[in-house]
Amino acid sequence: MLDYGTVSCRIDLDSPGKRSGWLDLGHSDNRHDFSTIPVPIGVVRGGPGPVVLVTGGNHGDEYEGQLIARRLFERLTPADLAGAVILLPALNLPAVLAGRRVSPLDGGNMNRSFPGAPDRGPTAALAGFVTTHLFPRAALAIDLHSGGTDVDFITSSYLCLSADAGQNARALDLCRDFALPWTVVAPPSHTAGDLDSAAQAAGCAVISCELGGSGRVSQKALAQGWAGVLRLLRGAGALHPQAAARLGEGPAGPTRFADLGAGATHATVMHHGIAEPLVALGEQVAAGQALALLRDPFDLATPAREIAAVSEGLVLVRRRNALVAPGDHLFLIGPEMTADQLLRAADPRAA
């Protein structure tokens, strides 16, 4: 049995075969005092090759990754694998069951809770179990996100840069294998407490992505994510090439790069209103271009306010809901990066 704080796992992760079960999460509140919270986990292991950890439901209202991880368990057999996959389709199960971004038990955002702690609530305990027991087993972690209820995201993988040029080069190779239409380039320490940083600190390669959003399932993003995950599993040496082809891997197309760092700007409203978007996700916009019209919710005589782009670039993220309040972002605009700009960003010595 594997233990970490209030989390325990009784299924065997290390022998060949195909098994599923649960991480038993304890939480002594009014509802769960005499219960366990069963977080589903699956393992499919063929040979002694590399292990890949695939997580969905890091945020509970992001569905494509949850479906991809469940589909992998359904369709993979041990004979397909030179190594193994460990699947956590509902990493933050309480958030998944609530259909919300964060856990209703402790308000915990899983992707701000790594590397985890045994005594800071259920979200940090689950993160700590992953850090302690799963990253050390895995050569690669694939963490599948979408925009969630509030935003729609261009279908993209994350290139999270570090100060280590070699690590950046390996991360770039993973993004090219994943081959989603876009790769967004994030600066070092983009978010504290995320799964990516904890995996890297444990010596486990990691890639994360955004597959659609708005709390719906995008069939297109699901198909792109599925094919990309199969390419990553095959590229890592965990999945036999013929199995990847049978399951629908397909060839890797080119990915384009966009700056999510210093070159990116938000279009933010500073009034209550109903926002009418004037641009679409993925559209190229100019600095000063009107992105939306904001109409006063009460006063018909108040002219609509124009919300303009602060900088030129692509619409990388779009807010779902039209009803907005001061401080709400409507869009995130980031410029496309040339190969030269990407090279300089990824190799600090070339800067």
Q: Which stretches of the chain bind Zn ion, using CB under 5 A? A: 59, 62, 145
Least distance to Zn ion, CB of residue 299, Å: 37
Least distance to Zn ion, CB of residue 213, Å: 9
Check residue 131 and report its DSSP letter.
I
Q: Which of 194, 200, 181 is nearest to 59 (CA)?
A: 194
Those residues with Cβ within 8 angstroms of residue 213's Cβ, 6 or more apart along the chain or in another chain = 62, 146, 147, 148, 151, 152, 153, 320
Query: Among residues 285 and 317, whose Cβ is nearest to Zn ion?
Result: 317
Least distance to Zn ion, CB of residue 39, Å: 17
d(CA 149, CA 127): 22
Least distance to Zn ion, CB of residue 148, Å: 6
Query: Among residues 27 and 145, whose Cβ is nearest to Zn ion?
Result: 145
Query: Among residues 145 and 318, whose Cβ is nearest to Zn ion?
Result: 145
Q: What is the full DSSP assignment across 108-127?
A: --GGGSTT--TTS-HHHHHH
Query: Among residues 62 and 259, whose Cβ is nearest to Zn ion?
Result: 62
Least distance to Zn ion, CB of residue 237, Å: 27
Query: Among residues 151 and 227, whose Cβ is nearest to Zn ion?
Result: 151
**What is the distance, to the nearest Å, from the Cα of residue 49 to the centroid of all Cα atoms in its chain?**
25
Decide if 47 contacts 206 (C-beta within 8 A): no
**What is the distance, to the nearest Å, from the Cα of residue 342 to the centroid of all Cα atoms in its chain?**
21
Which tokens belong to 318?
A: 């779009």
d(CA 169, CA 204): 15
Query: Among residues 65 and 335, whose Cβ is nearest to Zn ion?
Result: 65
Least distance to Zn ion, CB of residue 224, Å: 17
